[in-house]
Every structure is written in structure tokens, then in C-alpha cells.
Structure 1
Amino acid sequence: MSRRTLLGTAMAAAALPLFAGQSMAQDAPKKGGVLRVAMGQANTAEGLDPGTYATSLSIAFAFCRGNGLTEYGAQDEIVPELAESWEASPDARIWTFKLRSGVTFHNGKALTSEDVVATYNYHRGEASTSGAKALLSDLKDVRADGDSTVIFELANGNADFPALTAGFALIILPSDGKGGVDIASGAGTGGYRIQSFEPGVRIELVRNPDYWKPDAAYFDEIHLIAVLDPAARNNAVISGQVDISERNDTSTLALLAQDERVIVDETPSAAHNNFAMACTMAPFTDANIRLAMKYGVDREDVLRKTQFGHGYVGNDHPIARSNKFFNTELEQTAYDPEKARYYLKQAGLDSLDVELITSEGAGSGAVPAAELFSASAAAGGINITVKRVPGDGYFSDIWLKSPFAASDWGGRPTADLAFTVAYAKDAPWNETHWQNARFNELLVAARTELDEPKRKAMYWEMQEICNRDGGAIVLNFANWIVVRAKKVAHAEAISAQWPLDGYKAFERWWFA
């Protein structure tokens, strides 16, 4: 069985030009130039600690300056990065990673197993507040076996463990020599070193002359610039102020595609747009209220008017159609005002007044989607007041803290990761604060189950539980949209795990 089969990364990975006349560049890569990128999400509270990252600016920054043990390849398969190989025990509980030799951090320190152990212990420590902590909850021990071998011991088997090590939060940091990690220096093993750093505003990096990948990191400099307004991002790339803009508004794609100065790349993805109902806060503590809300939104209308057909409707769980464990028999929750009223009555209500917080920083179309939800829900007795707030600080001040708020999610390569990050009990990024005993029982059981039909049945049931009981209204799965100047070139196939080639464009793309 190949690693690709084992990990179940069945997502389509080719980037599709919006119109047939736009062809993919196939020129040989060459070095040089300053790449300026308009990023659609940012947070001034996100500094040098990758465990705090949740916005596109910081995720891109992480992959510019650092590497994980593994990474997503162009076909969304898991491939070696700082680890040159790995192997598992028969029960997938013990994983042994062999590190690549000749890798150094930006501060000149050689990469050793001590750095890997320190990094993982930092994120999983008892006092850790890292977003990666939930992913490592099953990690019983991590230890070095010499300078170039690391052994991970899990409490239970996990066939998907290598995919976990590709996460942006888990780029390897240098050890401080005392069991901890050196965060303050900003040193990593990546293709670019920090030149200037304004958190949530602008980050400038220069090529690492000692980068261990010989055919990567072609640009002289990378400038990551927070541009939270979609129209401003479009204008910036068209006018030549930046070379790339990401997370673009789909309403303008047809016009952009006709502009001879740019190329529009559209990539199918597992990214999705949500409205999160906090299950620990009134009125969403009642599952009947949550169901009423789900029947009160016209997903097809939202998809048509906010994504302009560039995606497909969601069904209140994070598993994309491309995932091999997608539940093909789960009935789609469709707009039904009468059912919305029915579930309100089950909760003892004739009507419901709620506030929905949204922002342009919460994802493409998040503001008009909220307004459309407000309009459709009224027929079901649900009165939604839409509160629009600035994008800056949204993911630190609003997200995870408000009873009802918009969000968007990048895809995860496996069903286990998708559920563990945002739906597991006490996960730091469990945006709905939802806890379901049966779901959490199945999550652990599916992770350790090596019989694929049994595992499939578990994931199917988990999707059904999310659909009927969960606090996430998954509106749609949206394609990644990136607009680039014609001089920016890339290979034909690119990763769809995140925009911008899985945020690896900075080392994989080049100026033609």
C-alpha cells in the first residue's frame, strides 16, 4: 500500500485556469526578484510562535521560514521534508523518523533530533496553549535515538500520523539546549530568513543562501502584506503593486480573467465556510435551536450569490466530497423554513432573535453570506441581526469567543485531522465548543482502526452526528482562488491543501 493510499489524500490537485485561454507556465525555474503577496487574513496578535497561528499571513510566514518533518506534495500526497524516511510498527503506534543530514537553522545550528523532540514537547506540554496541542493529545512520548532518529510513541495506533507532522504549527524550531525551544530568534530551517517583521501588517524575508533544498526558494525576497479588503487586493495585483493576491472575491473573477495583466488560478479544495454556534452559550445549548438554524439557511442561494458557483454546498461536517470517507448517503440539509419553525417549537419558542458577527477577514463572501442567512431565516421565525466588524483582530477578539460568528477553514488531508482540529472535545480550535460523547469515542476508535471498511463506517456515523447535533453550519466548500501577475510562473500541478500551492508557492514558484 502506498503512503498516498494509506493517508487517503484523494483530493484533486491541479490548479485550473479560469478560462481555457489561460495556460499554465512550464518554463524552467530561475532565481531572482522580489515577490510581493497581498494576504487576505492577518492578526497583529500573531508573533513568532507558530502555535498561535490561525490566519493566512502567519501560515504563509511559517512555511517561508520553516519546514515540517513532512509536507504536502503537488498531488497532495505526504512526502518527506526534514525527515528523509519513516516507518511504523505493525499496529501504527510507534513511528520512527530518520532525519535528513546537512540541514542548518538560520542561526547556523545544525538540525538534530533534539530540535524535533523539543518542538513537539513544546506544543504538547501541560501548560501549552498551542493550536497543535489537540493534534498531539495521543502522543505518549517523543524521544531521540541518536542525533538523526526520532521515535514517536502513541497511546493508540494512528495510520495518519505522518500527515499530522506536515502542519504549519509543527515547523521544527531550534532547541534552546535546555529542553525548550528558541522562539524569540525567529530562526527556522526554511528557504527564507526574516528581514523585517510587523505582526499582522507586513513581513519581509530574504532567501536563505544555505537552504538545504537545491531546487527551491527562487525569489530573492518575499514580502507578505496584509490587505484585508478584497477589492483592495484585486486592485493591488491588477495595478502591479503586488505580484499575487490570495483569497480573492469570486464576484469579480469573470472580470479579472479577462484582464491581460493577470492569470486567475482556481483550485478545488476541502476549504469550507462556516457559521459557528457556540454550544456552551445561549441559545445554542439546545440542539433543537441548532437544527432550526441549519434549516433556516438557503445554502444554494449563498453559494450562488457569494461564491458564484465556485464550489459546492456543505452539510455541517468538514469532510469534503474528495475524501474517501465522505458519507455519500447522508441526506443533505436543505433550506426548509417550516422545519426551522418546528425545531424552534421543540425548543419551546415561537421565534428567535440572535446576533451573527461577520467580517471580510472571516473569509471570502462572509459578509454577504451572513446577510443572505438573515434574509432566509426570517421565514422560519429566526431574526438574525448581522454585525460586521473589522478584519484585524477578528481571529483573536471574536473567533472562539462569540456565541455566533463566521469563520473559514482550510482543508485537512485526512478525516481524522479535520475532526481532531475543530470538533474534538476540548480542542483549542473547537470553535463551537461542542462536546458529544459518542463522537469523541468514535474519533479515537477510527484513528486506531486499521480495517478500512470498519473505519469508513465510523467516519460516516461521525458526519451524521455532526450534521444532527453539532454547532457548525458548514455553508459550502469553496475553491481556492489566486490571482497572479503573468510573470509569476509555477508547475502545472499544485497542492490544494491551502491557497498558493499549500502555502509552498514561496519556494516552488518563480518569475518567468
Structure 2
Amino acid sequence: MPIYQPALTRRNFLATGAAAGLLLPLGMARASTPRKGSEFRLAMAGGSSDNSLDPRAFTQQVQRVIGVAVCNQLVEILPDGSLIPELAESWDSSDAITWVLKIREGISFHNGKSLDAEDVVYSINLHRGTDTTSGAASLFNAIVEITATGPHEVTLRLESPNAEFMRTFSDYHAMIVPADFKDWENLTGTGGYILEEFQPGIRATLNRNPNYWKTDRAHVDRVVLTVVNDAAARLSGLQSGTADVINQVDRKVAGLLERNKSVELVRSPGAVHWTFICAFNAEPTSNNHIRQALKYGCDRQAMLDVVMKGLGSLGNDHPISPDNPYYNSALEQRSFDPDRARFHLKEAGLESLSIELYTSEAALPEAVSLSEVYQSKAGAAGINLNVIRRPPDGYWTDTWMKKPLAVSSWLNRPIDQTLSLIYGTDSAWNESYWSNSRFDTLLAEGKATLDFDKRKEIYGELQAILHDEGPSVIPVFADFLDAKSARVKGFEPSGVADLSGDRIIERVWIEE
């Protein structure tokens, strides 16, 4: 679930981390020469028994981490937010509509097949068309036509200009697999690791690809990934030495890790946003006055201070973080205001509101705590939140997009992807079922506008629409918190996602 961060520099990255004394500095990871060999043990939250390795069905981090270990993508986003070639060696467009991609030669899939343009066309077409089940369909349906115009050349044409379209191929659904591949239980790619075993919601094992084309990646011989959705159990595994790296460190214990010299906290600047979804197709949240009451009844500063321990920044009910160059700084920062919340309730014909709030650690480790803070403060605004805790296993299939008010979270993406995926009327992942014709029209204009200042103006108006009418209560943007054994090297913090932008498996090595 977030990648566009040109405002992120090494200087401000270090500055924000140093203030809390929790950051593993950039450069530390490359202080030693990569060492080949050893087994890497990864204990992760973000997996469940309904997980599939079909890239069209990727929703959780375990799927993503396995996906980019086994497969490559056309492009890669580095930890500093810059875009570099991966399987697409180069690309060119004169009008931002027609794009010509040169595909690397001399690369083989794990099954021995040589990579060619037809593999790329097949892999991208998995996410296109009216029949696709992909969560990224709204992104890739912008491609009107994609063809192999040579053995290692792909040409695609968009429905409208998009100067940043190549970043779309960094979306975590866009894994490159062999043409006509369908054996998703045995995912095959060109990546640094070959899948040995995958037990959904339990574990996965992978072995290093001896013929990997990236000579500076894929250092460890074997990877054992265990799904551990309980935060205390993950931390215990790291401290006892049975795990080398864990994700989603509980913020309440982050400071305690500094006292243990054998482990290190890795903090990455976050543009992951946490959201309370107000369904547009259900009562009572279809009423904008109810949604506004829920926004003013949310004490986001308390959430940042109490739950996040200051490791993040305030949200303003749209998904664009302050670090994004398109951020609309002119919008009033919404604050906790019980009187204004009660005003909107009265406008909706209510003196008070009682509503169920569904929450789960599947969305984020602090989901329950955030929901309880929301509950404790909203009462002053006449809002009675009945917090219902759902188990992580199955949350994304049995609760998400099925309840009027529920917790969700999204990773950082380029702005047009973020707005299209979450709020576009035709998006399969429009989690609130929100539909706004003015929003859709402006979004199409923004994608087609090549001038940055004009694009910023359009995207600024889109943020204002979401702020004033939108379906999301977005209280905070969160920093990513992982932790590692001191013997793990090469772990680079990333603003793309935690676990080094999901690419930790191919980046790290072990010093015995």
C-alpha cells in the first residue's frame, strides 16, 4: 500500500531522525563490504492465511517483500526517492503519451526462460482490462495499448499525457513474470531469490539465485520469513536472537531498544498515512456533515503524542504529506473542535452520533490504540464510537471496504497514483466508494498537465476537495519503524516503505 519524495534529502532525513535519537544514519549500512553467505531470518507482521503470491492480489507487506525478492520490476525506487532502471534498461517519450521501453538482454527467469518483451507485455496486461482482479487496475488501465515492438522493446500508448508514468511501474503489483505464467503458488521471476516454500500466514523460505544479474545484490544464501503478527512476539524474537530483522516496532517500546547494544532501531521518514474510512455508500457516513463531524471530533494531536510518541506528523484529511512537492500548505490545519463537530451533527439532524468503528492490527500496529484515543476524545463532540477489534487474519477480505467506519493505511506513492487508487470513481481500491465528478475531472487534467506549477494548482484543489468533502479522516502520517540485529548490514532506511522499501531481502548481508 505508498513513493514520490524529491523533497527528501540526506540532510533533512538525518535532521528529523537525529532529533529523536532513533535513526540509523544513511551511509552506516554501506560501511562494510557485503559478505556472501549465511541465513537471514525475518519475522514480519503483515501476513495472513488468505495471502496469494498472484501480484494482482497483493495487499499486505509479506506478499510485497516476497514478490520483490523473487521478481524484478521495470523500475526501482531508491531509498532517497529517485527512480532508476531495473528490467527496463531505458525509456523515452517525446509527448508523455507514447513511451518506448528498452528491456534488458541476457536475463533469465528461475525456470531458465530468457526475459523478452512478451514477458513484460503479459505481466502488465495482468493488471489491465475490465476482467482483471488487480488492485492496480485503475493505474494500468491508463494504458490504451501495449505491444512488443521488438524482442527487447515495448511500446505503450496512454489515454492522456502523464510525464511521471514510468513511476507507475514501481507499484508493488507490477512484478514481471514469464509470459502465460499462472502457477502463483510457485511464483517465478528474475529476482535474487528462488521461492522454495510458501505457507500463507505462516512462513516462506527462499534460496539465493546463483545466476542473479545484479552482482551487488542478493548476498545471503537463504531466507526464512516467518509471519509473526504479534508485536511483542516479534520483539522477543529479535532480542533472543531467533530473528535478525522485524518490522512494525511498537512505538511504546522503541526507546527501550537503545539500551540493547545487540539490536538497532531503523527509523525511516514516513509518508504512510493512517485513515479512518467513512463509506460513501452507507449510512450515516454518506452524509458529508457526519463526515465533517467525525473529522472535527478527531484529536489528531493526541494521537501523534500519545500513540505515535511524536514519530510522525499531523494529517489534514487528505493523503498528501507535507514533504510532497504538491502539498497544499494553504489549507487550514484541521484541529480537534468539539463545537464544530456538534454543529455538523445538528446540520445532519442529530444531537449525537453512535457508530461502530472497526479496527485491527492488520492495518497498522497501533490501529487499536489510535481507535481508542479517537473514542476517548470524540465523546466531547457528541460522538459515541463503539470500537470493534477484528483479528488481523482476514481483515482485508472480511472487513475492509465492507463497514461504514473502519481503519486503513496506505503507503507513499506518486500523487496521481495515490489519488487515483484511493479516490478515483472507477478504482477497484476506492475503499470508501466515494464518487465526485469534479474530483475525477480535475484528476484527469492533473495527469495530462506537463507544467509543474499548473499541476500543483490542480492537485492543490484536489486536496481541498478531499479536506472539505472527502471520505477519509486522516489524523497522522507515520514514520516507519523496523529493528535489526547488529550483525545485519546493508539495511537502508527508505521513505518508500518500511523494510528498506520492501527490498530488504536483496539488500542486506550478515556479518558473523
Structure 2 partner of 1:155? 159
| Superposed counterparts of 1:289-438, under 5 Å | 289-412=290-413, 414-438=414-438
Residue number in structure 2 paired with 1:511: 510
**Which residue pairs with 1:134 in the alignment?**
138
1:484 aligns with 2:484: yes
Distance 1:189 1:167 in 2: 17
| Change in 2 beyond 3 A, CA 1:8/1:228 | closer
**Aligned equivalents of 1:22 and 1:501: distance in 2?**
12
**Match status 1:441 vs 2:420:** no
- 2:496 — aligned with what? 497
Deviation at 1:47, TM superposition (A): 1.3
Are the aligned partners of 1:317 and 1:466 in contact in 2 as well (CA < 8 Å)? yes
SS where residue 271 of structure 2 aligns? coil
CA contact (8 A) 1:97 1:150 kept: yes
Give 1:30's match in structure 2, choosing from 31, 35, 39: 35
The answer to whether structure 1 residue 71 and structure 2 residue 76 are counterparts is yes
Match status 1:286 vs 2:287: yes
Deviation string, structure 1 residues 186-240 (Cα, Å, up to 9, x no partner)? 1111111111110122111111111111110001111221111111111111111
- CA displacement 1:112-160 (0-9 Å, x = unmatched): 1001111111210221110110111211000001110001100101111
Pairwise CA distance, 1:174: 0.7
Query: 1:21–1:361: structure 2 CA closer, same or farther, 3 Å change rule?
Result: closer
Aligned to 2:21: 19
Q: Distance in 2 between the 1:280 and 1:355 partners?
A: 16
Q: Which moved further from structure 2: 180-189 or 237-246?
A: 180-189
Instruction: Name the CA distance, whole Å, in 2 between partners of 1:290 and 1:361.
Output: 24
**Cα distance in structure 2, aligned partners of 1:222 and 1:440:** 44
CA distance in 1: counterparts of 2:179 and 2:318, whole angstroms: 38
Distance (Å, rounded) in 2 between the aligned partners of 1:29 and 1:139:
40
- Indicate whether 1:120 and 2:124 are aligned: yes
Question: Aligned pair 1:212/2:217, yes or no?
Answer: no
Indicate conservation of the 8 Å contact 2:23/2:267, yes or no: no
What CA deviation, in whole Å up to 9, does each residue of 1:240-279 have, x standing for no partner? 1110010111110110121111000111121111111111
Partner of 2:204: 203
Q: Is the 8 A contact 1:320 1:477 kept in 2?
A: yes
TM-score w.r.t. length of structure 2: 0.95
Q: Give the drift of 1:181.
A: 5.3
Residue correspondences, number: 501
Match for residue 105 of structure 2?
A: 101
Structure 2: state its 5+ residue gaps: none
- Secondary structure (helix, strand or coil) at the match of 2:198 reads strand
Counterpart contact for 1:172–1:188, Cα < 8 Å? yes
CA contact (8 A) 2:79 2:496 kept: no
* Superposition deviation, residue 8 in structure 1: 6.3
Q: Distance in 2 between matches of 1:300 and 1:335?
A: 8
Change (3 A) 1:202 1:144: same
Q: Compute the displacement of 1:430 (Å).
A: 1.4
Q: Which moved more, 1:468-477 or 1:39-48?
A: 39-48
Is the 1:256–1:262 contact (alpha carbons within 8 Å) kept by the matching residues of 2? yes
1:26-75: per-residue Cα shift (whole Å, max 9, x none)?
Answer: 11111111111111111221212011111111111111111110010132
1:166 matched to 2:205? The reply is: no
1:456 aligns with 2:477: no
| Structure 1 match to 2:91 | 86
Q: RMSD of aligned C-alpha atoms?
A: 1.7
Judged with a 3 Å threshold, the aligned counterparts in structure 2 of structure 1 residues 22 and 62 are, in CA distance, closer, same or farther, namely: closer
TM-aligned CA deviation for residue 507 of structure 1: 0.8
Cα distance in 2 for partners of 1:184, 1:175 equals: 16
Q: CA deviation at 1:182?
A: 5.4
CA contact (8 A) 1:175 1:182 kept: no
| Residue identity opposite 1:154 in structure 2 | L
Contact residue 70 and residue 193 of structure 2 kept, 8 A: yes
Name the TM-score, length of structure 1 as normaliser: 0.95
AA of the residue aligned to 2:498 = P
Question: What is aligned with 2:7?
Answer: 10
Deviation at 1:323, TM superposition (A): 0.7
1:191 corresponds in structure 2 to 192
CA distance in 2, matches of 1:148, 1:73: 24
- Supply the distance in 2 between the matched residues of 1:12 and 1:224 (Cα, whole angstroms): 31
- Distance, in Å, in 2 between the alignment partners of 1:21 and 1:247 is 15
* Matches of 1:282 and 1:426, distance apart in 2: 21
Secondary structure of the structure 1 residue equivalent to 2:195: strand
Q: By how many angstroms is 1:22 displaced?
A: 6.3
Kept after mapping to 2: 8 A contact 1:43/1:396: no
Cα distance between partner residues in 2 of 1:378 and 1:236 = 39
Tell me the CA shift for residue 20 of structure 1: 7.3
Change in CA separation of 1:406 and 1:187 when aligned onto 2, cut-off 3 Å: same
Residue 102 of structure 1, CA deviation: 1.0
> Percent identity between the aligned chains?
38
Separation in structure 2 between the aligned mates of residue 369 and residue 73 of structure 1, nearest angstrom: 31
The amino acid of 1:45's aligned partner reads D
What secondary structure, in the 3-state scheme, does the structure 1 residue paired with 2:73 have? coil
Partners in 2 of 1:421 and 1:28 — Cα distance?
Answer: 40
Contact 2:24 2:266 in 1 (8 A): no
Paired letter, 1:448: A
Cα displacement (A) at 1:21: 9.7
Q: Amino acid of the residue matched to residue 140 of structure 2?
A: L
**1:289 CA displacement:** 0.4
Give the alignment partner of residue 51 of structure 1, picking from 53, 56, 59.
Answer: 56
Give the SS at the match of 1:293: helix
1:468/1:21 CA distance change after superposition, 3 Å? closer
Structure 1 residues 118 and 488: CA distance shift in structure 2, 3 A = same
Aligned counterpart, 2:115:
111
Shift of residue 408, structure 1, vs aligned partner? 1.5
Q: How far is 1:184 from its partner?
A: 5.1
Give the deviation of 1:109 after TM superposition: 0.6
Deviations along 1:396-444, one digit per CA (max 9) or x if unpaired, are 21111111111111111x2111111211112111111111111111111
Say if 1:144 and 1:150, in contact at 8 Å, map to a contact too. Answer: yes
SS at 1:265's partner residue? strand
Asked whether the 8 Å contact 2:99–2:156 carries over to 1, the reply is yes
- Structure 1 window deviating more from structure 2 (8-17 vs 296-305): it is 8-17
Aligned pairs for 1:240-279 (under 5 A) are: 240-279=241-280
2-side partners of 1:128 and 1:210: how far apart?
33
